[in-house]
Copies of this chain bind each other. A is one copy, B any other.
Amino acid sequence: MATIKDIANRLGVAVSTVSKGLNGAPDISEDLRQLVLDTAVEMGYKTKRMRKEELKKLAILVENMEYLKEDDFGYDLVLGFEQMAYRDKWDVEVVPINARVQAKERYDTYMLRHGYSGAFVMGMALMDKWMDEMNRTTIPTALLDNYVKMNTNVGYVGTDSYEGMSIAVAKLVELGHSKIAFLNGSPNSMITNQRDEAYKAALIEHGLEFDEKLVAHGYYVAESAPYYVPGMISAGATAILCGNDLIASGVIDECKKRGFKVPQDISVVGFDDIPLASQLKPALTTIRQERLELGRLAFFTLDSLMHKIPVSRTMLRPEFVERKSIGKAKK
């Protein structure tokens, strides 16, 4: 392992300067401190704090996702991860991140500076700066819903969209639907792309034709519905699959507003099964992600990576939860 002296030699500065940089002393410029940290990471240097076994700390980094309230999508993910981590005597810190944090510091440097041995990263978008750094990071990292090629330090944890879509479309076909629309979420995410592909695969599996007029990308919010539902209904849709439950709640509202009954006129299926789903009127039929279990699997994936077992992906089966928002296709 590199020593402080190695770092000093490489940078051509005094050992004391490196030491100041590593320990965040105030009498050194921010630029130099950053350079010292970046070089330390690059050379595989670990601070004393990190080397001490008793300081075992993991991070859950959260972006674009609510997690504080029981109804939030991220709540059970955090809980499941923490449950497993505490059993293994890890401390877990949940840290919201954003573009500013990512612009300021490299991912590896951030992790080293905080003494995190690994992270579970939830909600990162494809265009994020740190997402690109995931291709090269040396920090064990479990990524929710994001896949990185080749890097043995990073594993992907998620729910099998293909199986979920396949079950949902099978059920709708059984109910006589053949014009099944799909209102998906924001395009700049791996999971959106995966669900698009899963939707297409499910149509093929059930002998239905793909019709561009029946698909659209909004955002993962209820407000997407008014923009796309009218067009889908004009194009003959009798059922609308949604990228998540929030979109579905907007779709139900929009259908009602336009005088269409759910499920008598239009069947609606959500994705995720957040607590809201069962409280909608009608109660939402949805493709459930077992978020508590997903959080637990994320810990397992991270634990494997920290033990140098290069898990590439761990997938959970979704569950089709049938409630009141789907019915027989209107003739």
Given the interface pairs A290-B309, A297-B311, the reply to whether A317 lies near B163 with Cβ below 8 Å is no
List residues of chain B with CB within 8 A of the CB of A300. Answer: 300, 304
Give the Cβ gap from A52 to chain B, nearest Cβ, in Å. Answer: 25
Q: Are A311 and B304 in contact (CB under 8 A)?
A: no
Q: How large is the interface on A (under 10, 10 to 19, 20 to 34, 35 or more residues)?
A: 20 to 34
Q: Are A312 and B316 in contact (CB under 8 A)?
A: yes
- Produce 1/0 per residue, A274-296, CB < 8 A to B: 00000000000000001001001
Q: Are B312 and A315 in contact (CB under 8 A)?
A: yes
Complex: how many Å from CA A309 to CA B304?
A: 17
- Produce 1/0 per residue, A293-308, CB < 8 A to B: 1001100100010000
Q: Are B149 and A312 in contact (CB under 8 A)?
A: no
Complex: how many Å from CA A321 to CA B314?
A: 24
Give the Cβ gap from A189 to chain B, nearest Cβ, in Å. Answer: 20
List residues of chain B with CB within 8 A of the CB of A149. Answer: 163, 166
Complex: how many Å from CA A149 to CA B164?
A: 11
Q: Are A309 and B313 in contact (CB under 8 A)?
A: no
Partner among B150, B167, B290, B309 whose Cβ is within 8 Å of the Cβ of A316: B309
Given the interface pairs A149-B163, A150-B163, the reply to whether A297 lies near B309 with Cβ below 8 Å is yes
Complex: how many Å from CA A290 to CA B311?
A: 10
Give the Cβ gap from A244 to chain B, nearest Cβ, in Å. Answer: 20
14 A–B contact pairs at CB < 8 A?
A: A149-B163, A150-B167, A152-B317, A152-B319, A290-B310, A293-B309, A293-B310, A297-B309, A300-B304, A310-B317, A311-B314, A311-B317, A313-B313, A313-B314
Which residues of A are at the interface with B, using a C-beta cutoff of 8 A? 149-150, 152, 160, 163, 166-167, 290, 293, 296-297, 300, 304, 309-317, 319
10 A-B pairs with least C-beta separation: A310-B317, A312-B315, A312-B317, A293-B309, A160-B312, A313-B315, A314-B314, A152-B317, A300-B300, A312-B316
